[in-house]
């Protein structure tokens, strides 16, 4: 594995004694700190958060047809997330009193050239970020799918790397198969849920490499004497695609081809000796692939434990190695994919709650509709959704309590957010945007108690630009912790509309700079975005396009009983049509126009038409 980016060293003083979990208390509106009280006291340094970007993830593209109107898992998703990141950093800098007035005589282009001249964009933000507790890294880390221990641990096969070799072949031969058969994916796989192109493997390997790089950095942040110095980030947010939580051991599903978080957990175990892992999945959809993988790993660890108890080791024999124990907890919509068709195995898996028996630690909580913010926070969050962290606490308390061998992962999907496409969130099982702030805060408190603060969050779903940007903004504010007072109005609808107007991509990729009286945080957001979004989606080569498929993103027909569908993937039924994601003024895309400057598809030559105009018969 190549992890070329070097991590900086930062002083982090001792964490205060851990308080009991404070769950279900969302930050009240209007708590904005002044310049003086925003700054942490000298006795408490801010938690260090590192955000990882990976440009290779833009290379995964739909090439089967020019018609991409039904493709929601698209490269432009990453720009929407970056808008949220830039806005969060700008707001935090504003709260810390770190915003500086910009020189109006200096253009965005000149600033970008100057910044790139002093900045190694492959490794760090080189001082671009003024917020004390945040750093951004543009990662170049990657892995070889066929030569990485963690990948093989999750997706390998007893008889060889059958699935991984097949996956690479699908991508390699994608253009030829589209030309010959109309699709690069084998028959029986959902045609719009799964797509590949020759460079998809770069994206997949880059995503895995970046997750593993983040794991390395977060674990390395713990020094021998944590009361004095910590190196690197305690928390990380990894902005990668394609997502991973629907992919099982050898079955791609729901946009996912490998399981990024499961591989990150395996890497933490194999390289760093992490024995207990907590995975918290907050995507709209149940992470059926992750749960399936976790079940298999726990089953094997439980078997090893029973064998060890029944046949004690001989004197002086080295201790037997055992696999990790993993808690998987998910909050999701039971009516959505993969349970949408009501298939028994999927619905049962997404409703499983088991704690300790047979070595399994699984908790699934179903999203409900809410009638008001008060109903959401006082009833649903406090009484139901926060149970996820309480169950995770019980898992760790029952397996040894807090320790250096504990790691926390968040499978972070933003598609349950209130601003997701109606076509994706059809059943109205949503959460307010502030959920991504509060749940993240509660998770970080949990990690401070049990895992020395170690949290790695990995992007999963989220498909409308507004859902992604608002969710990412709230999530980053949560990962920073309580060192900055956050105002939840930062991501209210009025401010999101302002954000979209200020960051809308123009013909040549420059953000809008229309209003001279633009608010400082918006100006700063645009400035940050011009640095974070320097690499655009690569152009698609000119080729013979296959006709657009009429099959749907989410098939809702009953599946045939003899379909032989693997448990973590679904086969399509008869052709059905579901409306494409809604695009309206209330869901203004902040990035769809990004395709304009990079679409190198040559326009079709129109046939020459010659009109012969003659006078009507019988006239002179």
**Cα–Cα distance measured from residue 557 to residue 535, given in angstroms and rounded to the nearest whole number:** 40
Closest CA to 589 of 239, 63, 72: 72
pTM (2 decimals)?
Answer: 0.79
The DSSP symbol for 2 reads: B
**Cα–Cα distance measured from residue 595 to residue 593, given in angstroms and rounded to the nearest whole number:** 5
The pLDDT of residue 235: 97
Tokens of 493: 């609808």
pLDDT tens column, 326-383: 999 999 999 999 999 999 999 999 999 999 999 999 999 999 999 999 999 999 999 9
Closest CA to 447 of 294, 270, 235, 272: 235
**Cα–Cα distance measured from residue 339 to residue 348, given in angstroms and rounded to the nearest whole number:** 9
Ranges of H-type helices in 353-456: 373-375, 387-398, 434-450
Closest CA to 181 of 547, 469, 537, 428: 547
The pLDDT of residue 86: 98
Whole-number Cα distances in Å, 359 to 8, 147, 289, 313, 395? 39, 30, 18, 21, 11
**Cα–Cα distance measured from residue 76 to residue 158, given in angstroms and rounded to the nearest whole number:** 38
| 609: CB partners within 8 A, 6+ apart | none
The pLDDT of residue 100: 65
Q: For strand 406-412 and strand 455-459, is the pairing parallel, antiparallel, or unpaired?
A: parallel
Assign 617 a pLDDT band (cuts: 50, 70, 90).
low
Check whether 612 has a pLDDT greater than 50. no
Check whether 544 has a pLDDT greater than 70. no
Assign 157 a pLDDT band (cuts: 50, 70, 90).
confident
Three-state DSSP class for 337? coil
Give percent of the chain above pLDDT 70: 70
Query: Mean of the pLDDT values across residues 175-198?
Result: 94
Helix (H) or strand (E) holding 376: none
**Cα–Cα distance measured from residue 326 to residue 293, given in angstroms and rounded to the nearest whole number:** 10
Q: For strand 276-281 and strand 235-239, is the pairing parallel, antiparallel, or unpaired?
A: unpaired
The pLDDT of residue 109: 60
**Nearest-5° Cα angle at 55, 460 to 587:** 50
The pLDDT of residue 308: 86
Bigger pLDDT: 616 or 5? 616
| Residue 474: burial class (beta carbons within 10 Å; 0-12, 13-18, 19+) | buried
Bigger pLDDT: 172 or 602? 172
Tokens of 312: 């004690």
Query: Mean of the pLDDT values across residues 42-62?
Result: 82
Assign 311 a pLDDT band (cuts: 50, 70, 90).
confident
Query: Mean of the pLDDT values across residues 27-50?
Result: 42
Helix (H) or strand (E) holding 90: helix 77-95
Three-state DSSP class for 216? helix
Query: Mean of the pLDDT values across residues 522-551?
Result: 70
Assign 588 a pLDDT band (cuts: 50, 70, 90).
very low
pLDDT tens column, 224-274: 444 545 557 999 999 999 999 999 999 999 999 999 999 999 999 999 999
């Amino acid at each position: 594995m190549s992890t070329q980016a070097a991590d900086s060293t930062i002083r982090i003083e001792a964490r205060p004694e851990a308080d009991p979990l404070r769950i279900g208390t969302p930050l009240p509106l209007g708590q904005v700190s002044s310049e003086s009280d925003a700054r942490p006291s000298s006795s408490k340094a801010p938690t260090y958060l590192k955000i990882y970007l990976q440009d290779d993830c833009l290379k995964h593209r739909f090439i089967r047809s020019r018609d991409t109107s039904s493709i929601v898992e698209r490269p432009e998703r990453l720009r929407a997330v970056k808008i949220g990141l830039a806005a969060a950093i700008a707001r935090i800098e504003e709260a810390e009193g770190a915003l500086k007035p910009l020189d109006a005589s200096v253009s965005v282009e000149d600033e970008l050239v100057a910044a790139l001249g002093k900045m190694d964009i492959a490794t760090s933000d080189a001082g671009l970020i003024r917020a004390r507790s945040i750093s951004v890294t543009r990662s170049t880390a990657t892995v070889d799918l066929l030569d990485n221990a963690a990948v093989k641990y999750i997706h390998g096969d007893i008889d060889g790397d059958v699935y991984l070799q097949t996956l690479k072949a699908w991508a390699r031969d994608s253009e030829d198969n589209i030309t010959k058969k109309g699709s690069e994916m084998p028959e029986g796989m959902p045609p719009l849920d799964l797509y590949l192109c020759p460079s998809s493997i770069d994206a997949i390997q880059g995503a895995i490499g970046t997750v593993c790089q983040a794991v390395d950095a977060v674990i390395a942040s713990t020094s021998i004497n944590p009361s004095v110095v910590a190196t690197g980030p305690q928390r990380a947010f990894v902005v990668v695609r394609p997502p991973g939580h629907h992919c099982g051991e050898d079955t791609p599903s729901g946009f996912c081809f490998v399981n990024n978080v499961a591989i990150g957990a395996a890497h933490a175990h194999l390289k760093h000796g992490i024995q207990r892992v907590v995975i918290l999945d907050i995507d709209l959809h149940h992470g059926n692939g992750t749960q399936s993988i976790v079940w298999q790993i726990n089953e094997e660890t439980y078997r090893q434990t029973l064998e060890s108890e029944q046949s004690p080791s001989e004197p002086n024999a080295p201790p037997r190695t055992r696999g990790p124990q993993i808690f998987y907890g998910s909050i999701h919509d039971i009516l959505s994919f993969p349970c949408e068709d009501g298939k028994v195995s999927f619905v049962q898996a997404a409703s499983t709650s088991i704690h300790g028996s047979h070595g399994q630690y699984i908790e699934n909580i179903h999203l409900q509709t809410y009638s008001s913010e008060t109903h959401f926070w006082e009833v649903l969050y406090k009484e139901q959704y926060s149970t996820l962290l309480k169950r995770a606490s019980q898992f760790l308390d029952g397996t040894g309590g807090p320790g250096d061998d504990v790691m926390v992962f968040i499978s972070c999907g933003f598609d349950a957010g209130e601003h997701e496409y109606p076509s994706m969130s059809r059943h109205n099982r949503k959460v307010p945007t502030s959920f991504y702030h509060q749940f993240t805060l509660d998770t970080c408190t949990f990690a401070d108690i049990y895992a020395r603060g170690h949290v790695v969050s990995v992007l999963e779903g989220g498909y409308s630009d507004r859902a992604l940007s608002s969710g990412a903004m709230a999530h980053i504010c949560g990962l920073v912790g309580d060192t900055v007072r956050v105002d939840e109005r930062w991501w209210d609808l009025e401010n999101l509309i302002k954000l979209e107007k200020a960051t809308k991509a123009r013909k040549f990729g420059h953000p809008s700079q229309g209003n001279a009286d633009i608010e400082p945080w918006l100006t700063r957001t645009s400035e940050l975005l011009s640095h974070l979004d320097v690499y655009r989606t690569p152009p698609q080569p000119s080729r013979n396009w296959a006709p657009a498929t009429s099959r749907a993103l989410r098939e809702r027909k009953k599946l045939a009983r003899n379909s032989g569908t693997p448990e973590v993937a679904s086969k399509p039924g008869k052709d059905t049509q579901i409306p494409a994601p809604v695009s309206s003024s209330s869901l203004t895309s902040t990035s769809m126009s990004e395709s304009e400057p990079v679409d190198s598809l040559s326009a079709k030559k129109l046939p020459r038409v010659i009109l012969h105009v003659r006078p009507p018969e019988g006239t002179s």
